[in-house]
Amino acid sequence: MAKQIAHKCYKCFRMKAQTINPIMGQLPEQRLDPGYPFQTTGVDYCGPLQAADRKGRGSKTIKNFLKQESLNLAQYMANEGIDFKFIPAYTPHFGGIWEAGVKSVKYHLLRVLGNARLTFEELYTVLVQIESILNSRPLSPISSDPNDLTPLTPGHFLVGRPLTALPTSSLINVNPNRLQRWELVEQLRQNFWIRWQKEYVSELQQRTKWKTSKGDLKEGTMVVIKDDALPPLKWSLGRVRRVFPGPDGVNRVADIETTKGLTRRAFNKICPLPINEAVETQDFNVGGHVKDQRGTGEMSAPPRSTDELAH
């Protein structure tokens, strides 16, 4: 009896809430069907990045590019017929390949740049060089035989050949104070290459996860929505109104009705409550407590039965 009462305690459940783990989805059709580069593209925002307004001492760091060019970017995309399809909030694993690419860039880029005050042109040069590094990664296993052909890279699909640059001397161990502006940009590129290649090589091994589904959600289920910015006792309480299956028929996204309106979240942010059918018909307030039907206050925990509610 003690275990049952503790299992149905809302405060205890919030502190160790468990999400639902559906089986890993199949590759989308766009990854399997032949097509032109950028026919279907995944985009993620990597930033904001600070740039110096000018060279020399007394320069200030800014990021006004999006503010100045937001209208032009929107008009350009509309004229080109670009149609955006957004993934649910807080679900980077839904993006998959482009989320992994942005993560590998952003993680090392912030550490390589450090306190370097680069102008917009210098920062743009570094980003283009990093783009070339990522698009030069091998897509097929590399053999140790020197007579084998060059491995296939993303650059072959973009420009029809590998993306290569002129060799330069190593500037890794040189003091940045002794470098000119262009040499400083080249040193940042070399530092990024060393950091990124070690991470990419370690990711070439096969990884397996989400091989089976663990749990499911049905319409009308009471759930708690996880929020990394809030403590567990302040997570929102809601009721599932609609679930969205993927192409393979497995549900992975749901619309949840809360006191603040309808919210769409993936299953990795949803924790179903261990409550019975008698409690599912009760009303809940913002804090997740059952409203007192007598109008005199609220209860600290949901009742286990309608008889307990009457008392």
Quick one: 195 and 230 in the same domain? no
Same domain, 195 and 143: yes
pLDDT class of 15 with cuts at 50, 70, 90: confident
Domain check: are 275 and 247 in the same one? yes
Closest by Cα among 271, 146, 291 to 214:
271
Q: Is the pLDDT of residue 303 over 50?
A: no
Residues 191 and 63 in one domain: yes
> Is the entire prediction scored with pTM above 0.75?
no
Domain boundary among 150, 167, 202: 202
Mean pLDDT within 119-134: 87
pLDDT of residue 207: 56
Mean pLDDT computed over every residue of the chain: 77
Of residues 22 and 277, more confidence is placed in 22
User: Highest-confidence range of 67-76, 89-98, 122-131, 150-159, by mean pLDDT?
Assistant: 122-131
- Residue ending a domain, among 202, 236, 267, is 202
Does some domain include residue 33? no
User: Is 170 in the same domain as 50?
Assistant: yes
Question: Domain check: are 198 and 222 in the same one?
Answer: no
Name the band, by pLDDT with cuts 50, 70 and 90, for residue 106: confident
State how many domains the chain has.
Answer: 2
164, 267: one domain: no
Domain boundary (141, 171, 202) is at 202
In a shared domain, residues 155 and 238: no
Say yes or no: 164 and 269 in one domain. no
Regarding whether 144 and 237 lie in a shared domain, the answer is no
Please check the confidence at residue 168 and state whether its pLDDT lies above 70: yes
Q: What is the CATH number of the domain that holds 241?
A: 2.30.30.140
Same domain, 231 and 297: yes
At 308 the pLDDT is 38
Q: Is residue 235 part of a domain?
A: yes
- Predicted pLDDT at 201: 64
Indicate if 175 and 124 belong to the same structural domain.
Answer: yes
Q: Is residue 30 part of a domain?
A: no
Mean pLDDT comparison of 147-151, 162-166, 236-240, highest-scoring range: 236-240
User: Is the separation of the CB atoms in 251 and 243 below 8 Å?
Assistant: yes
Closest CA to 116 of 107, 126, 106: 126
Percent of the chain scoring above 90 in pLDDT: 7
**Domain carrying residue 243:** 2-21+217-310
| pLDDT tens track for 170-185 | 888 888 888 888 888 8
**Is residue 26 included in any domain, yes or no?**
no
Structural domain includes residue 38: no
Q: pLDDT tens, 229-278?
A: 888 888 999 999 999 988 888 888 999 999 989 999 999 899 898 764 44
